[in-house]
Amino acid sequence: MKITLEEVQATLQIAKLNEEDLNPTIHCLSFGENVSSADYCLMELDDTLCKHIEAGQSLVIRGDKDERAVLCSCDKTYDLRIANTSNLLLFVPGCKTPDQLPITQDRACVVHAEIWGFCNSYWEPRKQRPKLKKLKKLLMENPYAGVPLAGQEESKENRYTMQDLLERIQASEEEIKNHLVTIHACQIDGCWCGLDFDYEMKLLSHVTQLVDSESWSFNKVPLQTSLEELAPLEPREMIEHCLNCYGRRYTDKGEVFYALHEDKVCRGLALMLLQNAVKFNLKEFQEVWQQSVPEGMSTRLEQLKGVVLVDRASSPETISLLKVEDLPEDTLERFNLLFTLREKWTEEDITTYIQDLCGEKQTTGALLTKFARSSLQNGIKVFNSRRPVAT
Amino acid sequence: MVQIVIRGSVDGCSPPQWLLVELQGEMVSRHNSGLAGNVMGDLLYTKEGVPVLIVGHHILYGKLVKLEKPFAVLRKHSGDSPDSYADDATQIPMETDHQGLTSTSYTVSALIKQKLIFKTRPKPIITNVPKKV
């Protein structure tokens, strides 16, 4: 049943609205046929998401039955929540705003606009850090540990293609790709897998020992020669992978070289030394560590931020392994574990281990205020747990 | 795990822009016959651009506001029931080899960057005004 102009004008008269004060276009709104039956919803967009959609790009929602749904663009991850409003939101495709209407028009006219849908809630994406811990866990199910011994076959199970990973990890593709580089994952026959730590250290040792024995500058490690010298020991792809993980590739006069990254190499060798000890005497460790790195490289404790814990309160001072990446992803669980390991933390020490928990616009200070209690010890501010913790 | 695609558009272009009308309260059809197909009311603008809404016996004054965060209108498509919405010939099922996963997907039907919000108390329209004596 369509309303006529006369009916609308009658309504205006009853409402005591003066036609002279009004724009002559009148929208008659009615509910579309599919308003209650079609499956639709509203989603709020931030600037980045809006530009994505305007460029015609897609987004993906990822989640397991028992996980919170996550929205991913090609390079960002968002938490998805539902926001409710007490107001009614109607969406009208054919409705114009005053600036879109003709200003001068002699006669009044009626435009029929259909209300396509309505709701009182909408999806609200909130940017968040991607859940990548699962990625390392999956890739370490069957890590590569070198060429299998004679008579043994290498197991191809539990190795994942990029597509497999996208179906299991709640993160955007680019975030996943970046993390694969960070954790030194390698691709074998199209499938991704982790690198067994001892094997990785074996590769690194081969490289650093070669550098020393050939008296090369660690900034100019020739790829070709390295591959030739080390090929009898390990597959060429693995040697090259090791160089990619620990150095920067460049070309000089047509030849490929690697500049080994001092911090990465020192850190790797430190991890190797600390791997099997619960605690190490700090002074002894520092001596052995310096001796183990290639000629020309200097070891510094700062290189080990986020992977070791130094105990300066004990006598003698000790050092032990504590990797941020091994800690729980959940904030409360993380704090509980940290306070179980050590009762009181200085701000500097604990910040290293909670930095990655910060969401957008969140500071470590805010986290500490919420999850810890501060006090002064010997004039220094320290943090401890808000609840009794068994140490 | 499930992956559900939200397609930006069918043809790679920016989606159309719609207008949002925000009202306080609930909308109930007069004869309890459901809302679909029924007239809601008339929307007019004053010469100054103020939106006026006449719904039933009420008149509401509102204003045009630019949304701080735009909305996308998402339309859901379930894998099992073929949807005849526009040109969905390009719909690619998300999961082909996996069992037990639906090929649900969404398309962005429109973007909404502005709204007409009616926050003032509706004024009743009095139809019978006693004549002055």
Report d(CA A42, CA B73) in Å as an integer: 5
State how far the Cα of A29 lies from the Cα of A94, in Å rounded to an integer: 9
Cβ neighbors of B31 (< 8 A, separation 6 or more) are none
Distance CA A97, CA A53 (A): 23
- Rounded CA separation A184/A199 (Å): 12
Q: Around B35, how many Cα atoms within 13 Å sit in the side-chain half-sphere?
A: 20
Domains of chain B: 1-28+38-77+101-122 (2.60.40)
What token pair was written down for A59?
A: 């987004």
Q: Do A34 and B52 touch (CB under 8 A)?
A: no
Rounded to whole angstroms, how far apart are CA atoms B13 and A27?
A: 28
Q: What is the ipTM of this complex?
A: 0.77
Cα–Cα dist A10/A13, whole Å: 5
Q: Is 90 exceeded by the pLDDT of residue A68?
A: no
Chain A 142-171, residues with CB within 8 Å of chain B CB atoms: 166-168, 170
pLDDT at A195: 93
Tell which wins on pLDDT, B39 or A190.
A190
Mean pLDDT highest for which of A146-150, A296-300, A374-378?
A: A296-300
Name which residue leads in pLDDT, B8 or A389. B8
Residue of A nearest to B51 (CA): A98
Q: Which of B4, B40, B72 sits opposite A53 (nearest CB)?
A: B72
- Using the predicted structure, report yes or no on whether residue A171 has a pLDDT greater than 60: yes
Tell me whether B93 touches chain A (CB under 8 Å). Answer: no
pLDDT at A31: 87
The answer to whether the CB atoms of B36 and A34 lie below 8 A apart is: yes
By Cβ distance, the residue of A26, A36, A39 closest to B76 is: A39
| CA atoms within 13 A of residue B72's CA, in its CB half-sphere | 31
A181 touches B at CB < 8 Å = no
Rounded to whole angstroms, the Cα distance separating B82 from A41 reads 19
In DSSP notation, A151-213 reads T-PPP-TT-B-HHHHHTT-SS-HHHHHHHHHHTT-EEETTEEE-B-HHHHHHHHHHHHHHHHH
**Does A54 reach chain B within 8 Å, measured CB to CB?**
yes
Name the minimum distance, in Å, from the CA of A246 to any CA of chain B. Answer: 34
What is the distance between the alpha carbons of residues A191 and A161, in angstroms, rounded to a whole number? 4
Q: Which residue of A31, A63, A71 is in closest CB contact with B40?
A: A31
Instruction: Judge whether B37 is closer than 8 Å to chain A, CB to CB.
Output: yes
Angstrom distance (rounded) from CA B1 to CA A131: 14
pLDDT given for residue B30 in this prediction: 60
CB–CB of A42 and B5 under 8 A?
Answer: no
> How close A32 comes to chain B (CA, Å)?
5
| Range in A94-103, A161-170, A324-333, A340-349 the model is least confident about | A94-103
**From CA A252, how far away is CA A157, in angstroms rounded?**
40
Q: Which stretches does DSSP call E strand in chain A?
A: 25-31, 40-44, 59-63, 70-72, 77-92, 109-115, 117-127, 186-188, 191-193, 221-222, 247-252, 255-260, 280-281, 308-311, 318-321, 345-346, 372-377, 380-385
Cβ separation B44–A23 shorter than 8 A:
yes
Can you tell me the distance from the alpha carbon of B116 to that of A89, in angstroms, rounded to the nearest whole number? 10
Mean pLDDT of A162-170: 90
pLDDT band at A202 (very low <50, low <70, confident <90, very high): very high
Residues of B in contact with A98 (CB under 8 A): 45, 49, 51, 64
Tell me the DSSP string of chain B: -EEEEEES-SSSSPPPEEEEEEEES----TTSS-STT-EEEEEEEBTT--EEEEETTEEEE-EEEEEEEEEEEEEEE-SSS---SSSGGG---S-SS-TT----EEEEEEEEEEEEEE-SPPEEPPS-PPPP-
Of B61, B24, B57, B59, nearest to B46 by C-alpha is: B61
Cα–Cα distance for residue pair B30/B70, rounded to 1 Å:
32
How far is it, in rounded angstroms, from Cα A63 to Cα A206? 42
B47, A95 contact by CB (below 8 A): no
What number of C-beta contacts closer than 8 Å exist between A and B? 220
pLDDT in tens, chain B (133 residues): 788 899 887 677 788 999 999 998 766 666 666 677 788 888 988 888 899 998 888 888 999 999 999 999 999 988 654 443 333 333 333 333 343 345 789 999 999 999 999 987 777 777 655 555 5
- Whether chain A has a CB inside 8 Å of the CB on B109: the answer is yes
Q: 3-state DSSP call for residue A224?
A: helix
CB A224 within 8 A of CB A255: yes
The answer to whether B129 faces chain A, any CB pair under 8 Å, is: no
Q: What is the pLDDT of residues A285-328, one digit of tens each?
A: 999 999 999 888 999 999 999 999 998 888 899 999 999 988 99
CA distance A101 to chain B (A): 10
CB A333, CB A371: distance < 8 Å: no
Strand pairing report for A77-92 and B39-45: unpaired
CA distances A62 to A7, A59, A91, A122, B7, Å, are 51, 10, 27, 18, 14
Asked whether the beta carbons of A384 and A343 are under 8 A apart, the reply is yes
| Among chain B residues, CA nearest to A99 | B49
Query: What whole-number distance in Å separates Cα of residue A79 and Cα of residue B66?
Result: 25
pLDDT of A1 reads 46
Does residue A143 have a cis peptide bond before it, meaning omega lies within 30 degrees of 0? no
Within a 10 A sphere around the Cβ of A238, how many other Cβ atoms? Answer: 22
Q: What is the DSSP letter of A383?
A: E
Element housing A223 (H / E):
helix A223-230
